[in-house]
């Protein structure tokens, strides 16, 4: 039994959902998202909640059950509140700035790294050492933040690089004489 799949997805105020076969569409104050469910699961509306059930008791149906519930929940939360990832830049001379609609990163290379902002994502730099990636699609927000982090991941000796704000870097001790 999926513990996650059993929990119904509650639909908050201001969000409307429609079910057309296996496609679930949610509209909210931030925008509109949709998700197509796998054929192994069923979805129905009960008392203002979305309830997901497996079609049969196979291993594939049970594994799709929890995943489908989480994806529907992410769609509903995305159109209501949106998602956000914060990145921190550590290192002497390392900084970020918006250049038009692109993100310009100075990360100690001989050249500046220019990151083209994907559609549906907004990036802000409140400080030169802080980048905030936000949007309604959780997958796109996470992918954009991971791409920015991949340009210069944090290293374990001095902690220089781009890291998530809530990430802890395990530090190593340097060489001894």
Indicate which CATH number applies to the domain containing 44: 3.90.930.12
**Same domain flag for 32 and 97:** no
The more confidently predicted of residues 1 and 26 is 26
- Domain edge (last residue) among 80, 106, 133: 80
Question: Which residues, including other chains, have CB under 8 Å from residue 143's CB and lie 6 or more apart?
Answer: 118
Check residue 105 and give its pLDDT: 95
**Same domain flag for 87 and 160:** yes
Token pair listed for 173: 């001790």
CA distances to 19, 67, 78 from 28, in Å: 15, 22, 9
**Same domain flag for 67 and 112:** no
Check residue 1 and give its pLDDT: 62
User: How many structural domains are present in the chain?
Assistant: 2
Check residue 2 and give its pLDDT: 67
Q: Quote the crossing angle between the two packed helices 59-80 and 138-150, to the nearest 10°.
A: 90
**Same domain flag for 53 and 67:** yes
**Same domain flag for 70 and 9:** yes
Nearest Cα residue to 167 out of 66, 86, 108: 86
**Same domain flag for 97 and 46:** no
Q: Could you report the per-residue pLDDT of 109-132, keeping only the tens digit for each?
A: 999 999 999 999 999 999 999 999
**Residue-range definition of the domain harbouring residue 57:** 3-80
Handedness of CA 21, 26, 31, 36 (dihedral sign): negative
Question: Which residues, including other chains, have CB under 8 Å from residue 105's CB and lie 6 or more apart?
Answer: 89, 95, 96, 112, 113, 114, 115, 148, 151, 152, 162
Spatial contact of 97 and 125, defined as CB atoms under 8 Å apart: yes
Q: Could you report the per-residue pLDDT of 33-90, keeping only the tens digit for each?
A: 999 999 999 999 998 899 999 999 889 998 899 999 999 999 999 999 999 999 999 9
**Of 1-10, 81-90, 150-159, where does mean pLDDT reach its minimum?**
1-10
Residue 153 located in a structural domain? yes
Check residue 70 and give its pLDDT: 94
Mean pLDDT of 158-171: 93
Mean pLDDT of 21-26: 92
Residue 173 located in a structural domain? no
**Same domain flag for 67 and 94:** no
The DSSP bridge partners found for residue 9 are: 50
Burial (Cβ within 10 Å: 0-12, 13-18, ≥19) of residue 162: buried
- Domain edge (last residue) among 62, 80, 98: 80
- Domain edge (last residue) among 80, 107, 139: 80
């Amino acid at each position: 039994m999926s513990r996650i799949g059993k929990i119904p997805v509650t639909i908050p105020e201001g969000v409307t959902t429609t079910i057309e076969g296996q496609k679930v569409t949610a509209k909210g104050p931030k925008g509109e998202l949709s998700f197509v469910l796998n054929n192994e699961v069923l979805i129905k509306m009960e008392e203002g909640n979305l309830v997901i059930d497996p079609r049969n008791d196979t291993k594939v149906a049970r594994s799709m059950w929890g995943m489908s519930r989480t994806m529907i929940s992410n769609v509903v939360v995305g159109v209501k509140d949106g998602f956000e990832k914060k990145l921190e830049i550590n290192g002497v001379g390392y900084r970020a700035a918006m250049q038009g609609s692109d993100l310009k990163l100075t990360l100690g290379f001989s050249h500046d790294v220019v990151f083209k902002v994907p559609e549906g994502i907004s990036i802000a730099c409140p400080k030169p050492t802080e980048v905030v990636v936000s949007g309604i699609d959780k997958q796109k927000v996470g992918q954009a933040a991971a791409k920015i982090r991949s340009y210069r991941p944090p290293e374990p000796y001095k902690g220089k690089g781009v890291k998530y704000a809530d990430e802890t870097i395990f530090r190593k001790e340097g060489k001894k004489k």
